[in-house]
Amino acid sequence: MELTLRIRRFNPETDTKPHWEEYTIDADPDQKLLDALLYVKDHLYGTLTLRKSCAQGICGSDAMRINGQNGLACRVLIKQVNTPVISIEPLYGLPLIKDLVVDMEPFWKWYRAIMPWLVNDEPAPEKERLQSAEQLARYDDSTKCILCAACTTSCPPFWANGNNYVGPASIVQAHRFIFDSRDRATAERLNIMGQAFGVWKCRTVYNCTEACPRGIRITEHIGEVKRAISLGMPKE
């Protein structure tokens, strides 16, 4: 089928601002959008710049805005988008480097700020630290995060004030440890989440949950953290 990719391009060496470019190709509707983009890069315009790695929805490298909604280019099939012209832009809310590549450093900075490591200084048991299925179920969903930044860059409060908000991804990562029965830094984590740059900047817009390519129930988990801070941790 004939497919037109309308891509927002920006070359920092020659352009003063981004602009749209259109590329019409012959595409297979069962293919991924990433395949179409790589076809343009490999056969038409080698200068097209994007990030990709595993190309199967695990590494989170190719998050971008597709027809106005954030998603992973390697998880979206052309027939799912189902429009003759597909518009593709970089994620909004992080500094633009070139074409579809954004600077992820502000995203990592907020990730580091939430202490993304297990804290448990008790003497190590002989084998594993045991956990029941119920205990796992409390945070299992938030372990699925692949740090693709699709959620954080779909968040209007983050767009407006990204320097003062951790963003949904960091809260999901914090949730993963707060509700992990093996972690012992709950009070510290909740204190970080309760700061002005933490959960209280969330306005429950719900874009994050809709953007997440892993189907994580982000708004629900942010809500669980808000409840834990204001009403106390739920009984195990």
Partner 1 sequence: MVSEGLRSVIEVARYRGRFGQLQWALHRLSGLGVVLFLSLHVIDTATVYFAPSAYTFFVSLYKNPFFGLLEIGLAAAVIYHAMNGLRLVIMDFWPALWEKQPQARFLVWISFAVLWVPTAAVMFRNIVLHVIK
Partner 2 sequence: MAATQPAVRPMPRNTWGTVSWLFMRISALALIVLTLGHFAIQHVFNDVHNLDLAFVAARWSNLGWRIYDALLLGLGLAHGFNGLRIVLDDYVTSHTWNRVLCWVILIVGTALTIIGMVAIIGGVRRT
Binding stretches for partner 1 (CB under 8 A): 65, 67-69, 92, 154, 156, 159-162, 203-207, 209-210, 217, 219-221, 223-224, 226-227
Footprint of partner 2 on 13-52 (CB under 8 A): none
| Residues making up the chain, counted from first to last | 236
Binders of partner 2 among 147-186, rule CB under 8 A? Answer: 156-157, 160-161, 163-164, 185
Site for partner 2 in 190-209 (CB under 8 A): 191-192, 194-196, 198-201, 203
In the complex, what is the shortest distance from the CB of residue 152 to partner 2, in angstroms, rounded to a whole number? 15
Nearer to partner 1 by C-beta: 118 or 160? Answer: 160
Q: Does 94 bind partner 2 (CB under 8 A)?
A: no
Rounded to the nearest 10 degrees, the angle between the axes of helix 186-193 and helix 218-231 is 110
197 φ, ψ (degrees, to nearest 5): -90, 5
Alpha helices in the chain (DSSP H): 33-39, 78-81, 105-113, 133-137, 156-161, 168-178, 186-193, 207-211, 218-231
Query: Rounded to whole angstroms, how far apart are CA atoms 193 and 64?
Result: 27
Site size for partner 2 (CB under 8 A): 30
Residue 61 backbone dihedrals phi, psi, to 5 degrees: -75, -35
Residue 118, interface with partner 2 (CB under 8 A)? yes
Q: Which residues contact 6 (CB under 8 A, 6 or more apart)?
A: 20, 21, 22, 85, 86, 87, 88
Amino acid letter, 149: A
> Which of partner 1, partner 2, none has residue 119 at its interface (CB below 5 to 8 Å by kind)?
partner 2
Q: Measured between alpha carbons, how far apart are the two ends of the chain, in Å?
A: 54
Identify what 154 binds: partner 1, partner 2, none; CB under 5 to 8 Å per kind: partner 1
Q: Which of residues 72-91 bind partner 2 (CB under 8 A)?
A: none
Q: Which is nearer to partner 1, 38 or 171 (CB)?
A: 171
Residue 48's φ and ψ, nearest 5 degrees, are: -60, 125
Closest CB to partner 2 among residues 169, 199: 199
Residues that bind partner 2 in the complex, under the rule CB under 8 A: 112-113, 115, 117-121, 124, 156-157, 160-161, 163-164, 185, 188, 191-192, 194-196, 198-201, 203, 226, 229-230
